[in-house]
């Protein structure tokens, strides 16, 4: 039997975290090297995008954890613990975190990613107007910029196509100007 079929049977074809039946897929609970029924859960896209920090946390969405955190699946318990930890500033999440018991081995697993130490907010690359930027976007410079270590000057209004996000700094993107790859601060551009 395939892993997905096993997860569908275990979850009754629902998200194991919020009970949604829309757009379900397998989520491998990190750190994992060999996906199996014990280290994967079946989740909806909304839960997955918030777990993976590609979308902001929506505390209202996670209130259902007060029911689903009692799953018999250790993988579900671990993800519930991580999400409650990220939402610990919410009173209901803190209360649930206090009563959620994980045995020593699963608590160690839950802490391995360090996710519990992070706040619930996620920072994204945004242009000068606050519009979210994605890999491959086209942007326009809103200021003439002198490129350090080069005689190149990127002029106001220059279009930069197919940008790359600097993953460890939400205030920077990379793009090509006159054939040269440069780092540009997001406050000096707008989405094209």
Segment 125-136 shows an average pLDDT of 89
CATH for 139-191, options being 2.30.30.40, 1.10.1840.10, 3.30.450.80, 3.90.480.20:
2.30.30.40
What pLDDT is recorded for position 192?
83
**Cβ(144)–Cβ(153) below 8 Å:** yes
Orientation angle between helical segments 104-111 and 74-86, nearest 10 degrees: 50
Instruction: Provide the pLDDT confidence category of residue 10 given band limits of 50, 70 and 90.
Output: very high
What pLDDT is recorded for position 119?
64
Task: Report the mean per-residue pLDDT for the chain.
Answer: 91
**Cβ(83)–Cβ(62) below 8 Å:** yes
**Integer Cα distance of 130 and 45 in angstroms:** 24
Domain ranges of the chain: 3-117, 139-191
Looking at the chain, the whole-number percentage of residues with pLDDT higher than 90 is 69
């Amino acid at each position: 039997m395939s892993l997905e079929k096993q997860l569908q049977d275990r979850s009754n074809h629902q998200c194991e975290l919020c009970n949604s039946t829309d757009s379900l897929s397998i989520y491998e609970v990190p750190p994992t090297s060999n996906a199996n029924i014990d280290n994967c859960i079946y989740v909806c896209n909304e839960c997955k995008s918030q777990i993976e920090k590609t979308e902001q946390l929506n505390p209202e969405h996670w209130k259902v954890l007060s029911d689903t955190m009692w799953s018999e699946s250790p993988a579900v318990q671990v993800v519930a613990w991580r999400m409650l930890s990220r939402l610990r500033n919410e009173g209901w999440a803190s209360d649930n975190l206090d009563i959620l018991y994980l045995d020593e081995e699963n608590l160690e697993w839950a802490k391995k990613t360090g996710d519990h130490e992070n706040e619930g907010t996620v920072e994204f690359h945004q242009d000068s107007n606050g519009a979210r930027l994605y890999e491959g976007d086209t942007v326009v410079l809103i200021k003439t910029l002198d490129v350090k270590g080069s005689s190149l000057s990127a002029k106001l209004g220059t279009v930069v196509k197919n940008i790359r996000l600097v993953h460890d700094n939400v205030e920077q993107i990379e793009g090509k100007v006159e054939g040269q790859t440069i780092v540009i601060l997001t406050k000096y551009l707008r989405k094209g």
